[in-house]
């Protein structure tokens, strides 16, 4: 158990719909990262938040957005869903309290999204 | 854009055999990480290598970072069915700071048959 929690574990929805994925980082971790994993593209970095602020963007579509709340949990919003958005979405957290390894990312169990 | 190529993509071996998985790039990374991912789970960090030429051992797993910090290898001795999983390498740019984007390879799917 990495200490990172993600909900829901599975999500089935239809094209055109909007969904929200939730992530709670490990206690004390300030950074949250979102990744998309598909069979053809592998694990792709989407976006990073650090202590509530966006810090880095990767291959994130304009239909997707994220935010990190004051309690450090994060949500990834996916809208106008397309069939190709079906994938595993992982959240990871890093930046342990002072003295820890700030570079190690700990991954949650993921949310499997199926768009029909 | 930094890319990491992993090979082989798939590997199926018998219990007790040795194997090596490769991770190559034309880019230099400040560090490189290896993860193992099991079905239905997120990737779990196995090791981080930082120094060019560095070798780290984790029981039957040996990890090496290339001298130029562009490539890495993972060698498993006497593979066991419990080693089955998707092995991912990930490279980190720069050092320190709060911006820490990892670039992942597509992985090597290892199956160890009893």
The string of DSSP letters for A39-96 reads TTTEEEEEEEEETTEEEEE-S--TTEEEEE-TTS-EEEEE-S--GGG-EEEEEEEE-P
How high is the mean pLDDT of chain A?
A: 90
Q: Does pLDDT of A110 surpass 80?
A: yes
pLDDT of A59-85, one tens digit each? 899 999 999 999 999 999 999 999 999
What is residue B2's predicted lDDT score, i.e. its pLDDT?
66
CB contact under 8 A, B98 and A4: no
How many angstroms separate the CA atoms of B55 and B49, rounded?
A: 8
CB contact under 8 A, A90 and B100: no
Query: Measured between beta carbons, which residues in chain A are less than 8 angstroms from residue B99?
Result: 48, 50, 55-56
B100 and chain A in contact, CB less than 8 A: yes
Query: Measured between beta carbons, which residues in chain B are less than 8 angstroms from residue A56?
Result: 99-101
How many angstroms separate the CA atoms of B1 and B93, rounded?
A: 11
Nearest Cα to B91, choosing from B21, B20, B23, B7? B23
pLDDT of B3-41, one tens digit each? 899 999 999 999 999 999 999 998 888 888 999 999 888
B86 and chain A in contact, CB less than 8 A: no
Selected residue with higher pLDDT from A104 and B76: B76
CB contact under 8 A, B48 and A103: yes
A93 and chain B in contact, CB less than 8 A: no
What is residue A94's predicted lDDT score, i.e. its pLDDT?
87
Sign (positive or negative) of CA dihedral B76, B51, B38, A82: negative
CB contact under 8 A, A55 and B43: no
Measure in Å the smallest separation between the Cα of B43 and chain A Cα atoms.
Answer: 6
Q: Does pLDDT of A98 surpass 50?
A: no
What is residue B92's predicted lDDT score, i.e. its pLDDT?
82
Where does the pLDDT of residue A97 fall: very low under 50, low under 70, confident under 90, or very high at 90 and above? Answer: very low
pLDDT of B58-91, one tens digit each? 999 999 999 999 999 999 999 999 999 999 999 8
Q: What is the rounded average pLDDT of the residues A96-100? A: 42
CB contact under 8 A, B42 and A110: yes
């Amino acid at each position: 158990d990495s200490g990172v929690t993600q909900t829901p574990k599975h999500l089935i929805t239809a094209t055109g719909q909007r969904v929200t994925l939730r992530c709670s980082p490990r206690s004390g971790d300030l950074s949250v990262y979102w990744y998309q994993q598909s069979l053809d593209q592998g694990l792709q970095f989407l976006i990073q938040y650090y202590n509530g602020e966006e810090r880095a963007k990767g291959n994130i579509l304009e239909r997707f957005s994220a935010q990190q709340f004051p309690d450090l949990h994060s949500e990834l919003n996916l809208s106008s869903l397309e069939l190709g958005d079906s994938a595993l979405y992982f959240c990871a957290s890093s930046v342990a309290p002072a003295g820890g390894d700030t570079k190690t990312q700990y991954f949650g169990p993921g949310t499997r999204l199926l768009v029909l | 854009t930094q890319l990491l190529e992993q090979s082989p993509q798939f590997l199926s071996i018998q219990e007790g055999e040795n194997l090596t998985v490769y991770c190559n790039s034309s880019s230099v990374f400040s560090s490189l990480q290896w993860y193992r991912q099991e079905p239905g789970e997120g990737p779990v960090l196995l090791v981080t290598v930082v120094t060019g030429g560095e070798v780290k051992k984790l029981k039957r797993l040996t990890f090496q970072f290339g001298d130029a910090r562009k490539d890495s290898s993972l060698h498993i001795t006497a593979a066991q069915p419990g080693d089955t999983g998707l092995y991912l390498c990930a490279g980190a740019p720069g050092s320190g700071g709060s911006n820490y984007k990892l670039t992942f390879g597509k992985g090597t799917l290892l199956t160890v048959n009893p």
